[in-house]
Chain A
């Protein structure tokens, strides 16, 4: 059973460019969340998608946007890249279960973005 897959694994961009990262959730999962992990830091929540709509958003500027497709896969887009956007971007998927307690997130290995 494939878990969460992310692509690309590594990429290098320059300031001002735009980037798109992709995520395929674990089979059976319907919710996708994105986290940014800067070097030496813990992951920070960017946003979460369910039924193709953004459901929650962390403290990130509008340059960060996303999308979820009917097959539950997701994209993270970052416009006007800054040096500070260099980080590991983690995708996590889960199955939404209302009222059943803490839903377990399954994380992918991440996409490492370097902005020069």
Chain B
């Protein structure tokens, strides 16, 4: 069964510092990978997704993630944190079935705290 592990339930950075949120996946074949962000009292918003094109994926709000098959990782980074980045971030995986039906398996989330 597919799964994802997010290391660190909380990550604290200063405004302007590098953001690094870690995600490792477990799958017998390279899956589709996603990062979502959840602001308080809101649903999940897609930041970026990996579907087997370029291994470095650029997303919204300056975020990017790199797929590393050898490390089974898909870490999320942003060069300079902004106060508005404070939120809960979820890594998710789905299989490569071509039925057109998407089922996501989420990690437990990492709360990003940004201090002035």
Q: Contact: A109 with B100, CB < 8 Å?
A: no
Contact of A108 with B by CB under 8 A: yes
Q: Contact: B49 with A42, CB < 8 Å?
A: no
Contact of A94 among B44, B92, B102 (CB under 8 A): B102
Known: A96-B101, A98-B100, A102-B32. A42 touches B109 (CB 8 A): yes
Q: Contact: B108 with A42, CB < 8 Å?
A: yes
Interface size class of B (residues with CB under 8 A): 20 to 34
A92-116 vs B, Cβ < 8 Å mask (1 yes, 0 no): 1010111111111101111000000
**Which residue of B has the minimal Cβ distance to A47?**
B103
Q: Tell me which residues across on chain B come within 8 A of A92, comparing CB atoms.
A: 44
**Interface-side segment among A48-56, A61-69, A71-79:** A48-56
Q: Contact: A104 with B46, CB < 8 Å?
A: yes
Contact of B77 with A by CB under 8 A: no
Q: Contact: B109 with A41, CB < 8 Å?
A: yes
Interface size on A, residues (CB 8 A): 32
Q: Contact: A97 with B100, CB < 8 Å?
A: yes
Q: Nearest Cβ distance between residue B68 and chain A, in whole angstroms?
A: 18
Q: Tell me which residues across on chain B come within 8 A of A109, comparing CB atoms.
A: 41-43
Known: A42-B90, A109-B41, A110-B43. A98 touches B98 (CB 8 A): yes
Using a CB-CB cutoff of 8 Å, which residues 81-116 of chain B contact chain A? Answer: 90, 92, 94, 98-109
What separation, in Å, do the CA atoms of A48 and B46 have in the docked complex? 19
Q: Tell me which residues across on chain A come within 8 A of B45, comparing CB atoms.
A: 107
Q: Contact: B101 with A102, CB < 8 Å?
A: no
Q: Nearest Cβ distance between residue A78 and chain B, in whole angstroms?
A: 19
A-binding residues in B (CB < 8 A): 32, 34, 36, 41-46, 49, 51, 90, 92, 94, 98-109
4 closest A-B pairs (Cβ-Cβ)? A42-B106, A107-B43, A96-B100, A98-B100
